[in-house]
Amino acid sequence: MVVLPERDRGLKCDQEGATERFPWPTLELVNPFHVQEWNSLCAAHPGGSLFHSIEWLRVLGQTYGFKAAGLLSRRDGEHCALVPFMEVRSWPSGSRGVSLPFTDLCPPLLWPGVPSTGLWPGIVECAKRAGWGTVEVRGDVGLAQSLPSVAFFGHELDLTPGPEKLHGAFDDSIRRGIRKAKREGLETEISGELTAVKRYYQLHCQTRKRHGMPPQPFKFFANLHEEVLKPGLGCVITAFHRGLPIAAALFVQFGRRAIFKFGASNQRYQDLRGNNLVMWEAVQWFARRGCASLSFGRTSKANAGLRRFKLGWAAREEEIHYVKYDLRADAFMQDEDRATGWHNRVFRVMPMTVARMIGSILYRRFA
């Protein structure tokens, strides 16, 4: 366990119009699996999502062998901050802390009255004592007051108005797509069963090949089913055309927040607008389950088409900043969005069996 002494970092916290100095509390590096209240803390925080939870940490650990870690700070018996990490080991870079691998957005959870800028020095100090070479936080909430290492678009839909009002706010192209899917007789299924995950994975592999990316190993989706879908923390929504699955998406839910994690489709049936119907079913499903929001995940800044699709659902857009820091050089690092590059051409023509084998190796290394 790493414990940093309490000290006044000279930061200011504005509460009810009054500005006062905030003495930063004890900061501990812990094993989240040994913190009994970890999930309840995540669920109680308005920014908490499944990506902060024990279940998601289990999925990543069981699939890729990463070691879970976390930062907790307390002051006068009250929690002030929570940040989950995974320790990733790869040659030749050694070990590094990532919050979190294969996660679109996992910002630190800060409680009311805690200034975000005060957390970064503690993260760096704990990361150094843990022996990491670099530390990365995906969603900086103003942590480091620096240029981001890489940035994406994020989109989130407020579900509280209800499905009928939301439908009226969608772009015309989205509503036309939904109508066409229904007119073509597409049917949908909402399921947390392993059979639905397997059906999704077939479409997932097709879609990854089309995009020139290797698919994640099926073990990842099997663990996602066991730890997340089976306990009722998510589902797969599939659109069928005459019994054939043509579009599907995997969603996760934690508290009142739902997240669109993966989507896939059969390109031959793209004109039937199965993706529109799947997303519309998700909006209705999670709104009726009492969710306050549906996140559409991150979008590469180079992917104008996907950005346009998400904006069509009247989702609020924001920038997602990732911050990466070289602990040996004490310097912020620049990174890149690896969604596009020469590798896309290679994976588009590669046999699927080979792509899956390479993907199982690469994802562990480049988390």
Domain coverage including residue 221: 153-319
Q: Which residues pair with 28 in a beta bridge?
A: 3, 72
Q: What's the CA gap between 280 and 242, in Å, rounded? A: 20
158 and 303 assigned to the same domain? yes
Q: What's the CA gap between 63 and 222, in Å, rounded? A: 9
Q: Is residue 347 part of a domain?
A: no
Structure tokens at 338: 């690896």
170 and 307 assigned to the same domain? yes
Q: Is residue 201 part of a domain?
A: yes
| Among candidate residues 116, 145, 174, the one where a domain is terminated | 145
| Among candidate residues 319, 337, 357, the one where a domain is terminated | 319
104: CATH: 3.40.630
- In this structure, are residues 55 and 94 in contact, taking their beta carbons and an 8 Å threshold? no
Task: Give per-residue pLDDT as tens, 236-290.
Answer: 999 999 999 999 999 999 999 999 999 999 999 999 999 999 999 999 999 999 9
7 and 113 assigned to the same domain? yes
Up-side HSE of residue 248: CA atoms within 13 Å toward CB? Answer: 27
* DSSP secondary structure letter of residue 38: H
Q: Is residue 327 part of a domain?
A: no
195 and 106 assigned to the same domain? no
Q: What's the CA gap between 80 and 110, in Å, rounded? A: 6
204: CATH: 3.40.630.30
22 and 106 assigned to the same domain? yes
131 and 157 assigned to the same domain? no
Q: Is residue 350 part of a domain?
A: no
118 and 22 assigned to the same domain? yes
Structure tokens at 9: 């970092």
Number of domains the chain contains: 2
Q: What's the CA gap between 250 and 237, in Å, rounded? A: 7
Q: What's the CA gap between 29 and 128, in Å, rounded? A: 11
267 and 191 assigned to the same domain? yes
216 and 103 assigned to the same domain? no
Q: What's the CA gap between 166 and 174, in Å, rounded? A: 12
Q: What's the CA gap between 170 and 163, in Å, rounded? A: 11
> Which residue type is seen at 241?
H
133 and 243 assigned to the same domain? no
Digits of tens for pLDDT over the chain (367 positions)?
333 333 333 223 333 332 344 456 667 899 999 999 999 999 999 899 999 999 999 999 999 999 999 999 887 777 889 999 999 987 667 899 999 999 999 999 998 877 776 788 889 999 999 999 999 999 976 666 667 889 999 999 999 999 999 999 999 999 999 999 999 999 999 999 999 999 999 999 999 999 898 999 999 999 999 999 999 999 999 999 999 999 999 999 999 999 999 999 999 999 999 999 999 999 999 999 999 999 999 999 999 999 999 999 999 999 999 999 999 999 999 887 777 777 788 888 888 888 888 888 788 777 7
185 and 312 assigned to the same domain? yes
